[in-house]
Chains A and B, each alone.
Chain A
Amino acid sequence: MKKVLIVDDAAFMRLTIRSILEKNGFEIVGEAENGEKGVQKYKELKPDLVTMDITMPEMTGIEALKHIKEYDPNAKVVMFSAMGQELMVREAIINGAKSFIVKPFTEDHVMQVLNKILII
């Protein structure tokens, strides 16, 4: 079972992502409500995949992505953000995000993206 860490400042969004992933056979090993805690939990839990929001207090998802990739260049991080501007997507991909899912999303789209990443 693939282990996932969910990083998002909105409790509602963490619950939504958790329910989609658990329904599809993933194990949620941890949740974090900001980028700083996300980086700490990545180091503790060593998940197979991270879902990362961008607009968060304390540390943004882009900063957290940079820290995680510095610590583990093979980390698989997928951005989940309402900020789908081209510049934002480009910045995430340049910094090592495997993919970018714009909110609102559908379960089918999320599973398609995550399964593809985990096969690679």
Chain B
Amino acid sequence: MDVKYLNPFMNAIKDISAQVLGSSPIFKKPCFKETPFDFDEVLIIIGITGEINGKAIINLDKSSCVQIASQMMGGMEMQFDELSKSATSELFNMIMGKAASNFEKEGIQINITSPTILEGSNIKVSQKEKILSVPVSIDQIAMTVNISVEIKAA
């Protein structure tokens, strides 16, 4: 995976975090992750199709999920439930939608799938493609954004 494909995603996280959560994200250094690897708590998976193929796997804990939902509901007190999971997956749906617009500006058309949410502990993820992993924090919210994309063979 070429690192240059990371920027449209990072810029989308910046823009949507500012608009929806009212805060700027802090990115830590990206690194390649070997598979299989383990995840805990909540995973959101969004497929990427079109001129590049791949997926985004976002890992965060339940309290970050609740925090996101609460901010999206105007500061309402929330619990970890179907509604807070739906709000969190909608945030990443918006981020991926914005990333698709950023790719379009660079002449690359992509589409995304509906988010899939998994929860549990010690979830093992195995895939052939290399994953570029970026830890992101937005105020009290901590997450890891894992991206794998490949140019589709003509």
* Chain A positions near chain B (C-beta within 8 angstroms): 9-13, 15, 55-57, 81-87, 102-104
Contacts and interface: CB of A to CB of B under 8 A. Distances in A.
B7 interface: no
Given A55-B112, A103-B94, A85 B104 contact: yes
Interface stretch (B35-43, B79-87, B122-130, B131-139): B79-87
A87 B111 CA distance: 11
21 contacts: A10-B89, A11-B86, A12-B72, A12-B87, A12-B90, A13-B86, A13-B90, A55-B93, A55-B111, A55-B113, A55-B114, A81-B97, A82-B93, A82-B96, A83-B101, A85-B101, A85-B104, A86-B104, A103-B90, A103-B93, A104-B94
Contacts, number: 54
A18 to B, nearest CB: 13
Contacts of A9: 114
B111 A104 contact: no
Contacts of A81: 97
A21 B83 CA distance: 19
A83 B82 contact: no
Contacts of A55: 93, 111-114
Q: Which 5 residue pairs of A and B lie closest in terms of their CB atoms, listed nearest first?
A: A82-B97, A12-B86, A12-B87, A11-B86, A85-B104
Nearest to B111: A83
Contacts of A103: 90, 93-94, 97
A13 B101 CA distance: 20
Given A55-B112, A85-B109, A10 B86 contact: yes
Given A12-B87, A86-B104, 20 more contacts: A9-B114, A10-B89, A11-B86, A12-B83, A12-B86, A13-B86, A13-B90, A15-B83, A55-B93, A82-B93, A82-B94, A82-B96, A82-B97, A83-B100, A83-B111, A84-B97, A85-B101, A87-B104, A103-B94, A104-B94
A13 B93 CA distance: 11
Contacts of A11: 82-83, 86
A55 B90 CA distance: 11
Nearest to A14: B86
